[in-house]
A = this chain, B = another copy of it.
C-alpha cells in the first residue's frame, strides 16, 4: 500500500480524498488543514491534523493548495528527503523546497465543490525529480485514474494555457450566447443540446474536421449580417474569432 497524506482543504483536496478513499492500493492516512473545520467529509480511518508536526511518515505528501502558498507550505514541512508533490497546473517543479524530493501531481479538470466528478476519467499529469519517485507517482495516479501522463514543467505550462482556451474561454462564449438569448427573450436552454453535441463531437473528430459555420465556409453575407447585429465587445470577439477561423481555413 502506498501511504499518502494530503495538505489542503480546497476543491482539489476534497476530490482527491474521495478518490483515494475508494482505492485498494493507496492508503490515505492524514489530511492537513490550517482551518479547524476543513469542510471536507473524511472517511473514518483518516485523521485531520492542523499542525505540521503531527504529520506522520508517508510515501507521498500531496500539497493541494492555491499556487501562491505552495512554496511557503513546502518550506514549513518539518522533515527532509520525503516525496512532496503539488497539484498546480502553472507552478514549476522547483516550487517545492530543496529539503524534500520534488514532484507534481496535477489532475487536469475543472472542480466544483458541489458537482461530483468521475476521477477515473480525469487525466493526471505527473512529474518527478527521480525515476523511482516517478514510478511511485504513476502507481498512485493509476490507483484513482485511467489516464496518467508524463508531463514536464514546460509542457504543463503550455497545457494550462491550452486548458484556459478549452475551458475558461469556451465557458465565456457560453455566457455571451446566454446573454444574446436573454436579450432576445429566449431561454438559454435552447442552446444546451448544441453545446453538449459540440463538445462530444471532438471525441470522434478533430476540431479542425468538426469546424462548421459561416466563417469556415467564407459566407461573407451571413458574417456581415451577424456583425451588423452585434455591438461592442461581442462584435469584437465575433470579428477576431471569425478571422482566425478563416486564416486557419487558408492554411489547410
Contacts and interface: CB of A to CB of B under 8 A. Distances in A.
A27 to B, nearest CB: 26
A109 interface: yes
Q: Chain A: interface secondary structure?
A: helix
Interface stretch (A37-45, A70-78, A93-101, A198-206): A198-206
A190 B238 contact: no
A112 B231 CA distance: 31
Nearest to A89: B222
Number of identical monomers bound together in the oligomeric complex: 2
Given A175-B211, A186-B151, A222 B109 contact: no
A168 B230 contact: no
B159 A186 contact: yes
A232 to B, nearest CB: 10
A186 B244 CA distance: 23
A164 B214 contact: yes
Contact of A222 (B90, B155, B195, B225): B90
A183 B167 contact: no
Contacts of A202: 171, 174, 192, 195
Contacts of A207: 171-172, 174-175, 177-178, 188
A206 B190 contact: no
Contacts of A196: 199-200, 203
Contact of A194 (B166, B172, B204, B245): B166
A110 B211 CA distance: 10
Interface string A180-198: 1101111111111111111
A115 interface: yes
Interface in A52-69: 67
Interface in A142-188: 147, 149, 151, 154-155, 157-178, 180-181, 183-188
Given A177-B166, A196-B199, A183 B158 contact: yes
Interface stretch (A18-26, A116-124, A131-139): A116-124
23 contacts: A90-B225, A109-B194, A112-B205, A149-B186, A155-B184, A158-B180, A162-B178, A167-B198, A167-B212, A168-B216, A170-B173, A170-B195, A171-B201, A171-B207, A171-B212, A172-B207, A172-B211, A172-B245, A175-B208, A198-B199, A199-B199, A237-B240, A240-B240
